[in-house]
Amino acid sequence: MYSEYLKRAAELARKIRDADEVVIVSHIDADGITSGSIAARSLERLGKEYRIDFVKQLDEKKIEELKNENPSLVWFTDLGSGMVHLMYGLNAVITDHHVPSATVPEVPLNARKTLTSFFEEVNKSEVLQLNPHLFGKDGAVDISGAGVTYLVARELDLRNIDLSALAIVGAVGDMQDSEALRLTGTNRFILEEANDHGFIKYHIDARFFGRETRPVYKMLQYSSDPILPTLTGDDRACRGFLTRLGIPLKRERWRRWIDLTHEEKKLILSELVKLILSMSYGHELAERLIGEVYELVNEEHGTPLRDAKEFATLLNATGRYMQAEIGFHVCLGDRDKYYKKALSMLNNHRKHLVSSVNIVREIGITKRKYLEYFHAGDRINENIVGIVASMLLNEDKEELPIIAFANSDDGNIKVSVRSPRSLISKGVDFSVIMKEASKKVGGSGGGHNIAAGASIPRGSESEFLDIVEEMIRKQLER
């Protein structure tokens, strides 16, 4: 089943072995940072010179810069596939899971002198990609950027199997476990390998964020998937809920989920199910309380590195603030200077998310027939507006996709969209909608069916919303 992936991975590995020095280009989110770290460690083990550049978006300008620099090889991780058409003249490998723009670069007009030279030029385009979409798989759930990068790394050297844990962190960071409440598809192959070799343990547990590090009442207070009616966002209500159940909040220190007894955990979960059902939120929401969780066996208990989801958030807390190098060093093993810095950034990130959600409540979310949206202007950082949209999406009983706008520091408008699963199963694809709607207003975009983004000119927001809405309507009709 995975043989076509592994065969392609081996081809990329050959190309990497042939290179003198490599420039890795990766994305600033958790999946991008883990991807970049897997690539970097495997190059180190090969004894190759490398440099790593983290970018928030791969644009034409960056590709031009790379062409001018002309390194022996560029390794794009967790990005690149959406820009393959522009890569003519680059020697590159791509390990990505975004929807590809092309299978090979477009040959520019001035290079197509005659028909034979055209074919020669096509063959000269040295870009090889490993991407689930090329095998008919859904890149939003089958495998992450870190996963495809890992498949190449393990072809390069079997010692790289220790990087499988990072591949799981990348997949969880991209929320690839969120649909089935467990990792599926090619992610499962990686998970079993990580488990067999003693790097990852998995089991069924509460899916709450912060099981390893947060006081239980806080874990409940900040729960956004699922939203806990009457509890989420209310510190006093969460303490009251636990106290009524006879669960001590504190012993010597605040008790975390990992400190509770099996009976206490069971009691909390069954009361939460009752609460959700009694508020007529339905069993789909209640079912999201429990799912598979992933533990990094070699990390210390009670640290954010022990749980894959918390590890991913720690990485987002660095990269989304343009300090991906800090997360990168943590992935490669630093537990000193960079790790301390990452921990303090994680603290800020959490506060920042809470205040950003409050800002949206202040601004208000506008509902339309097929979507809802908010415009954060300068008040929310463009790099986290997508995470904020994810958190708010789960609150909506009507199951509308949420479109978020924020001012970008390049003078444009950053768009993030997050969609309920139900729309995706009806055939809506936001990677297509973002790509085409942004193009119509003079911008660019892409991503995954369920989570995508774009950059559009200031002032085009309302025209853009009309186009998006019309496209959703059409896709639903089909």
State the binding partner of 446 from ligand C5P, Zn ion, none, CB within 5 to 8 A by kind.
ligand C5P
Smallest gap from residue 24 Cβ to Zn ion (A): 15
Options 29, 299, 307, 310; binder of ligand C5P; rule CB under 6 A:
29
Question: Collapsing DSSP states into helix, strand and coil, what is residue 117?
Answer: helix
What is the C-alpha radius of gyration for the chain, rounded to an integer number of angstroms?
Answer: 23
Is residue 454 close enough to count as binding ligand C5P by CB under 6 A? yes
| Between 26 and 221, CB nearer to Zn ion | 26
| Burial letters 252-285, b for 16+ CB under 10 A, else e | eeebbbeebeeebbebbeeebbebbeeeebeeeb
Bridge partners of 27? 55
**CB 170, CB 146: distance < 8 Å:** yes
Site for ligand C5P in 31-70 (CB under 6 A): 31-32, 57
Is residue 78 close enough to count as binding Zn ion by CB under 5 A? yes
Match 């979507």 to its residue by tokens. 371
Phi then psi for residue 111, to 5 deg, are: -95, -5
Distance, C-alpha 280 to centroid of its chain = 31
Options 226, 386, 401, 420; binder of ligand C5P; rule CB under 6 A:
386
State the binding partner of 95 from ligand C5P, Zn ion, none, CB within 5 to 8 A by kind.
none
Cis peptide before 226 (omega within 30 of 0): yes
State the binding partner of 140 from ligand C5P, Zn ion, none, CB within 5 to 8 A by kind.
ligand C5P
Is residue 132 close enough to count as binding Zn ion by CB under 5 A? no
Options 138, 142, 174, 469; binder of Zn ion; rule CB under 5 A:
174
Tokens of 82: 């959406």
Is residue 445 close enough to count as binding ligand C5P by CB under 6 A? yes
State the binding partner of 448 from Zn ion, ligand C5P, none, CB within 5 to 8 A by kind.
ligand C5P
Of 101-109, 173-181, 213-221, 433-441: span binding Zn ion (CB under 5 A): 173-181
State the binding partner of 307 from Zn ion, ligand C5P, none, CB within 5 to 8 A by kind.
none
- Compute the distance between CA of residue 456 and CA of residue 442 in angstroms, rounded to an integer: 7
Q: Which residues fall within 8 angstroms of residue 95, CB to CB, at 6 or more apart?
A: 12, 35, 39, 75, 76, 77, 78, 129, 130, 131, 145, 148, 149, 151, 152
Tokens of 472: 């959703």
What is the widest separation between alpha-carbon atoms in the chain?
81
For residues 400 to 439, the per-residue mask of contacts with ligand C5P, x marking binding by CB under 6 A and - elsewhere, is ----------------x-x---------------------
- Compute the distance between CA of residue 457 and CA of residue 353 in angstroms, rounded to an integer: 26
Supply the DSSP string of 231-275, one letter for each residue: TTT-HHHHHHHHHHTT--SBSSSBPBGGGS-HHHHHHHHHHHHHH
Is residue 174 close enough to count as binding ligand C5P by CB under 6 A? yes
Is residue 96 close enough to count as binding Zn ion by CB under 5 A? no
Smallest gap from residue 206 Cβ to ligand C5P (A): 19
Of 23-31, 209-217, 297-305, 334-342: span binding ligand C5P (CB under 6 A): 23-31
Of 71-79, 157-165, 178-186, 305-313: span binding Zn ion (CB under 5 A): 71-79
Site for ligand C5P in 67-126 (CB under 6 A): 78, 82, 98
Contact positions vs ligand C5P (CB under 6 A): 27, 29, 31-32, 57, 78, 82, 98, 140, 145, 174-175, 178, 386, 390, 416, 418, 444-448, 450-455
